[in-house]
Chain A
Amino acid sequence: MSTPATAESPRQENLVDERLVFWYFVAALTYMLISMLGGLLMGLQLLRWNPLPLSEYLSPGRWRMVHTNAIAYGFLANGFLGMMHWVVPRLSLRPVLDKRLSLFIFAAWQVVVLSTAVGLLLGEAQGLEWGETPVWIDPLAQAGLLLVAINFGYPIIKVKGPMYVTLWYFLAALVWTFLTYAMGNFVPQYAVTGTAAGAVGGLFIHDLVGLFVTPMGWGMMYYFVPILLKRPMWSHGLSLVGFWGLAFFYPLQGIHHFLYTPIPMFLQYGAVLSTIALEFVVLTVIINFVGTLKGTGMLCLSNLPLRYFYTGITFYFLTCLQCALQTTMTFQALIHFTDWVVGHAHMVMFGVFSMWILGMMTYLVPRLLKTDWYSEEWCYWHYWASAGGLTLMAGDLILGGLFQGWSWAALQPWDKSITVSHPFWAVRIVAGLLMFLAQVLLSYNLYKTWQKSPLRLGDETLTNVVPATT
């Protein structure tokens, strides 16, 4: 990033395909709604009510996989890809390798995600958590990830001199995601079996979060937070410590998903230690963002996207703190297989990364559509219902998980723990419904905003206007 923008520097319209960014956001929100619908159906089954009992294709077990896959590969991936189409060209001052390739990747990725959903409903899931994409889709997804890496890698590699930390995160994520997907979907399927396959599966689960979602998310934060605060990061050096710490600590952590299994203890302890050690890295990142906010904290009250971002950062700190605790063998013995883990997962996926993406959309949509949101008030409602619903759901499941763990530790009959869990599962449905309605409101707000956009109305005189965003 040593090259400053000069008189010869390209303009925004030559760098960013704003229409494509918007399409990615629409796709992301569509999958978010599908995913949350799947979660609601699964949640209802826990309350002993299956609303779709007549078809095995719509059974809760299959909806559950649609729920997780649609959020990972549908919402998060589309949200991140849309965001990268905005951020990478602006940071590198170069467009992506080929805009036609970008369009092809967009279409191809939707085919991959939709095929995955259809394959899962037809019962063709691969036996790997978070990697249930049917085996016949894996090569297509792998090829798609390669094209993504080439398309975005080109402008990043071309940057002369020291790079901004966001580009480091993105460059690494492009490579890591490709390798992680290959490791998880091909190695246990074709190369190794038994405990070794379990260990690789554990690495895949966690690396998907740590080496795909996390670098994308933090790269995004390092870009948008300074812009919204109108000041550079407190310490770029510290941000690089966070990046390299993630690179070296994260890869071995996944085995902490399989504590108390036949995997050798030295590997299990290695995963525990590297998880705890990563908390030091997390602290450097949190300190950096708090330091950047210093003196301007009140902006979180008036600037809605910033509020999303710092809410996510707070949840990130909490989840990482949880992570360090729950990977200790003593704590793990209590919470293993309980709803604590489900609460933790929701706090990571929705509380952190989804909140960041939703905040990023709240900021970018007015710039993409050249008009303010149809209803600013609805944006605030969306924030409160999302953050409030998530807090309720995560708190409820974490607490319920403790009760389940204590019930099992006391050697009570299994059905006792189910009885104990029911009130928590009822609250979970209420929280989930709140979060779902929030996304419906956001989607409707987006639709109404698009309806009044000068781009849709063909008013060319207004297309260069940068609206005052929330």
Chain B
Amino acid sequence: MSTNQPNSRIPLWTWIVGAAVLIPTILGFANKFLDLIIIAQGDEEGAFALTPMINYLLATAGFFCMLMYAVTQGAFHDINAPSHSMFENELELDRRSAKP
């Protein structure tokens, strides 16, 4: 194993920040979903609030599908690789452009 290979382990603080972002998201989403169910079941006066809620649910469903697509595309394997390959491609394109 070469010692020059980049360390592909995800640092601990990434997990911490990830948890700090995701946990409130999930809690907030669950809370909103409960509100939606309560409204849908009874309170007719508040039924107009369903419009923005449905908008949000549709948008979130779309993002969730995109997240799943990202996972299947391997977006979270060797997570820093795209950053390096982008850089190399840029240098190569500039080098080719500079050639007469």
- Chain A residues with a Cβ under 8 A of chain B: 1-5, 9, 11-13, 15, 90-91, 93, 161-166, 168, 172, 175, 179, 183, 187, 192, 194-196, 199-200, 202-203, 223, 226-227, 231-233, 235-238, 240-241, 244-245, 247-249, 251-252, 255, 263-264, 266-267, 270, 273-274, 277, 280-281, 284, 464, 466
**A2–B81 touching, CB < 8 Å:** yes
CA distance A183 to B54 in the complex (A): 12
Is there an interface contact between A9 and B73, defined as CB atoms closer than 8 Å? no
Please provide the chain B residues from 49 to 74 with a CB less than 8 Å away from any CB of chain A in the complex: 49-53, 55-56, 59-60, 62-63, 66-67, 70, 73-74
Majority SS at the chain A contact face: helix
Chain A residues whose C-beta falls within 8 Å of the C-beta of B97 in the assembled complex: 11-13, 464, 466
- 23 contacting pairs across A/B (C-beta < 8 A): A1-B82, A1-B89, A11-B93, A168-B75, A175-B62, A196-B49, A203-B56, A227-B90, A236-B79, A236-B83, A240-B76, A241-B21, A244-B21, A247-B66, A248-B29, A251-B56, A252-B52, A263-B49, A264-B49, A270-B35, A273-B24, A280-B17, A464-B98
Known contacts A11-B96, A466-B98; is A162 also within 8 Å of B63 by CB?
no
A168 to B82, CA, bound (A): 11
Task: Name A274's contact: one of B28, B46, B67, B93 (CB within 8 Å).
Answer: B28
A267 close to B49 (CB less than 8 A): yes
Determine whether the beta carbon of A248 is less than 8 Å from that of B51: no
| Chain B 83-99 interface mask (CB, 8 Å, partner A; 1/0) | 11111111011101111
User: Is B46 a contact partner of A90 (Cβ separation < 8 A)?
Assistant: no
Q: In the assembly, what is the distance between CA of A232 and CA of B87, in Å? A: 7
Chain B residues whose C-beta falls within 8 Å of the C-beta of A248 in the assembled complex:
25, 29, 60, 63
Smallest CB–CB gap between A467 and chain B, Å? 11
Give bound CA distance, A226 to B89, whole Å.
13
Residues of B within 8 A of A264 (CB): 46, 49
Q: Is B18 an interface residue (CB 8 A)?
A: yes
Q: Mark B14-30, 1 if CB is under 8 A from A, else 0.
A: 10011011001100110
Known contacts A248-B60, A464-B100: does B73 contact A232 (CB below 8 Å)?
no
Dominant SS among interface residues on chain B: helix
With A238-B17, A466-B98 already in contact, the answer to whether A277 and B86 are too (CB < 8 A) is no
Taking A12-B93, A266-B35, A280-B21 as given, write out 6 further A-B residue pairs in contact, using a Cβ cutoff of 8 Å, ordered by the A residue number. A163-B75, A164-B85, A196-B49, A251-B60, A255-B52, A277-B25
Please, how many angstroms separate the alpha-carbon atoms of A203 and B58 in the complex?
13
The distance in angstroms between the C-alpha atoms of A196 and B89, with both chains bound, is 48
B16, chain A: closest CB distance, angstroms:
11
Name B50's closest neighbour in chain A (CB-CB). Answer: A196
Which residues of chain B have C-beta atoms less than 8 A from A194's C-beta? Answer: 48
Taking the closest CB of chain B, its distance from the CB of A177, in whole angstroms, is 13
Measured CB to CB, the closest approach of chain B to A247, in angstroms, equals: 4
Contact between B52 and A161, CB atoms less than 8 A apart: no
Say whether A199 contacts B79, CB under 8 Å. Answer: no
> Whose C-beta in chain B lies nearest to the C-beta of A171?
B66
B74 A162 Cβ-Cβ under 8 A: yes
Tell me the nearest residue of chain A to B48, going by C-beta: A196
**Assembly CA distance A1 to B92 (angstroms):** 14
Closest to B53 in A: A267
CB of A353, distance to nearest CB on chain B (Å): 22
- Nearest first, the 8 closest Cβ-Cβ pairs linking A and B are A5-B92, A236-B83, A1-B82, A196-B48, A232-B83, A164-B82, A196-B51, A237-B79
Residues of B contacting A9 in the complex (Cβ-Cβ under 8 angstroms): 89, 92-93, 96
Contact B21 A161 (CB under 8 A): no
- A256–B25 CA distance with the chains assembled, in angstroms: 17
Q: Is the CB of A200 within 8 A of B51?
A: yes
